Amino acid sequence: MTTADKQAPPRQRKIIHCDCDCFYAAIEMRDDPSLRGKPLAVGGASERRGVVATCNYEARRFGIHSAMPTASALRRCPDLIVVPPRMDVYRGVSRQVQQIFTDYTDLIEPLSLDEAYLDVSDASAFQGSATLIAQDIRQRARETLGITLSAGIAPNKFLAKIASDWEKPDGQFVIRPEQIDGFVLQLPVKKLFGVGKVTAARLHAIGVQTCADLRGFSEEALTAQFGSFGARLFQLSRGIDEREVKVERQRKSLSVENTFAQDLADLPACIERLQELHAQMLKRWQPLQSRYQVGGTFVKLKFDNFVSTTAEQSAESCELELFPGLMVQAWARHQRPVRLIGVGVRLEPRDERASDQLALPLEL
């Protein structure tokens, strides 16, 4: 066999998933030490139908969790302290965390304000040790920003994300290549990326509780049961995930929503709220204009019976006058009092849109 016939083994990736611990609540406790040790939630007021954005670990002992209505959280824990979110502050701290990441690698994929993937496969810090890099990141966040984060280290994104949750809060967990098989075999299928309550219930119905159970099914059998996601289940149950860390995540849309303290009784009341929501959306749209163009506009309504509907149209701008017509369409579908309104735009990358314009000048 010649040298050309020999294939080099695939490069082993080193992925870190960093996840700040109860991020919003941690910042509130940092800025107001009197909140420490007390059950705390960040979210909307109960009288305004607010929901919990996040809560600290003292609150979680009462079964409180994100997306829970604030009123329900207060019933579970009458002593719960609820503070309104300060998004500008959280975004500022998030930028500081991201700046720490850049000292180790340029391959960073933010998932939200409080979590990100880092590919440190070629990092030079700490002789390339992903474990030591994660430890250093966590120490710097604690000492310079006054918050803690947990980290998962693994050869791929799927396992790194699971690992970051293994030693929370303020911990880290490593899954080395030789440990993948043993780790994944005992993993509950509900932990697999993309498996929600419905898919988990379907898997349980066919006797699948863990990845070891899942491996009893061929790829063809899983595809027959779950469509294209069956092939994904087949791979994940073996710890396989070839996704790369994407430095730039492409946005598909931008929207703002408001849940009203009292239902809006009719269509004119809904239209009256558009100007305020539109102004909020424009504020968020400003920093994105250099990279995206508008490809469509939409209005989302949630009625008093919790049924939702969305009306949308193609558009190349997001002027206020584009939204009342969409509101009329959406409201006419159910003609009931409205508890939530959302307005938004579909986004297209500017470079992609420009190439389309050059290729198809007569259609535009």
With b meaning 16 or more CB within 10 Å and e meaning fewer, what string describes 149-170? bbbbbbbbbbbbbbbbeeebee
Residue type, 248: E
More confident residue, 72 or 356: 72
Flag whether 304 is marked binding. Answer: no
Q: Please, which residues have CB within 8 angstroms of residue 117's CB and are 6 or more apart in sequence?
A: 15, 16, 17, 108, 109, 111, 157, 160, 161, 245
Whether the pLDDT of residue 271 is over 80: the answer is yes
Rounded Cα–Cα distance for residues 256 and 240 (Å): 36
Domains of the chain: 23-86 (3.40.1170.60), 180-236 (1.10.150.20), 253-359 (3.30.1490.100)
pLDDT digits (tens, 9 = 90+) for 287-330: 788 788 898 999 999 999 989 999 999 888 899 999 999 999 99
pLDDT of residue 185: 94
User: What is the arithmetic mean of pLDDT over 155-160?
Assistant: 95
pLDDT of residue 348: 86
Q: In what order do the strands lie in the sheet with 108-112?
A: 108-112, 115-119, 15-20, 149-154, 172-174
Whether the pLDDT of residue 359 is over 70: the answer is no
Whether the pLDDT of residue 8 is over 60: the answer is no
More confident residue, 237 or 4: 237
Whether the pLDDT of residue 360 is over 60: the answer is no
Helices (H), 295-362: 323-332, 350-359
* pLDDT cut 90: percent of the chain above it: 69
Of 42-46, 139-143, 266-270, the range with the lowest mean pLDDT is: 42-46
pLDDT averaged over every residue in the chain: 88
Whether the pLDDT of residue 5 is over 50: the answer is no
According to the 3-state scheme, what is the secondary structure of 199-243?
A: HHHHHHHCCCCEHHHHCCCCHHHHHHHHCHHHHHHHHHCCCCCCC
Question: 66 pLDDT band (50/70/90 cuts)?
Answer: confident
pLDDT of residue 306: 87
pLDDT of residue 10: 60
User: What is the arithmetic mean of pLDDT over 354-361?
Assistant: 34
pLDDT of residue 198: 87
pLDDT of residue 187: 93
pLDDT of residue 252: 84
Flag whether 181 is marked binding. Answer: no
3 state DSSP class of 180:
helix
User: What is the arithmetic mean of pLDDT over 261-270?
Assistant: 93
Of 18-22, 90-94, 135-139, 245-249, the range with the lowest mean pLDDT is: 245-249
Neighbours of 51 (CB within 10 A): 17
Pairing between strand 149-154 and 15-20? antiparallel
Angle (nearest 5°) at CA 162 between 16 and 242: 65
pTM to 2 decimals?
0.71
Of 139-153, 195-209, 274-288, 345-359, the range with the lowest mean pLDDT is: 345-359
User: What is the arithmetic mean of pLDDT over 16-33?
Assistant: 96
pLDDT of residue 7: 52
pLDDT of residue 245: 92
Catalytic residues: 115
Whether the pLDDT of residue 94 is over 50: the answer is yes
